[in-house]
Chain A
Amino acid sequence: AQTVTQSQPEMSVQEAETVTLSCTYDTSENNYYLFWYKQPPSRQMILVIRQEAYKQQNATENRFSVNFQKAAKSFSLKISDSQLGDTAMYFCAYLNFGNEKLTFGTGTRLTIIP
């Protein structure tokens, strides 16, 4: 079974700084997707960024980028120029080709300090 591990339960950073959230996963599959989801205090979960395992290029969405290390099974999220609105729980998630069931990590609570 696939597992997703987020080893940082909580993090905080000053506004405008850069922060990196860690995620590792375990799978025997070769084709899969990885995601970062954000869950703000209002609780609606939204997709931040996704990475296809077959792509070597790291995904980027504005201030959000990932460092995908397939051999190490590592998938970290970097938030640049952090903003107060980035305060939220961040979940790393895994999805296998042919199986639409997302497996989530336990989350990292990120607080941006003014």
Chain B
Amino acid sequence: EAEVAQSPRYKITEKSQAVAFWCDPISGHATLYWYRQILGQGPELLVQFQDESVVDDSQLPKDRFSAERLKGVDSTLKIQPAELGDSAMYLCASSLTPGLNSPLHFGNGTRLTVT
């Protein structure tokens, strides 16, 4: 079964450094989501793409976070500069279309530790 691919699985970085995560959704999935999951909490949506366009980035800290999906396929989430509070699991998910009839498929996530 096709899966959402994410890399790296783990990332340790020092505060004030830049870090980037990559996500490759299931082929044909037009909708892509980035979630942040802080330890002990549920995932929180950071940004949603429909093809190459941002649909919702209201919860993305835009002073340090950026996300792109240039060709409407894979996506990169960047943090610059990283802060201690950014330590979390970053989950990517995709769906065929937005909406309730197209279930979300999640990747395994990238665990970020900022020291």
Smallest CB separation, B23 vs chain A (Å): 13
Task: Classify chain A: how many residues form its interface, as a range.
Answer: 20 to 34
Partner of B98, one of A4, A9, A100, A104: A100
Task: Classify chain B: how many residues form its interface, as a range.
Answer: 20 to 34
Q: Is B48 an interface residue (CB 8 A)?
A: yes
List A contacts of B103 (CB < 8 A). Answer: 47
Within 8 A of A (CB), among B66-113: 89, 91, 93, 98-100, 103-104, 106-109
The distance in angstroms between the C-alpha atoms of A100 and B101, with both chains bound, is 11
A101-B56 CB under 8 A given contacts A43-B89, A44-B108: yes
Partner of A104, one of B44, B48, B56, B99: B44
Within 8 A of B (CB), among A35-52: 42-47
Q: Is the CB of B107 within 8 A of A44?
A: yes
**Interface residues of B: mostly helix, strand, loop or mixed?**
loop
A106-B40 CB under 8 A given contacts A43-B108, A47-B104: yes
Q: Is B30 an interface residue (CB 8 A)?
A: no
Q: Is the CB of B42 within 8 A of A106?
A: yes
Q: 5 A-B residue contacts at CB 8 Å? A: A33-B100, A91-B42, A91-B43, A97-B100, A100-B31
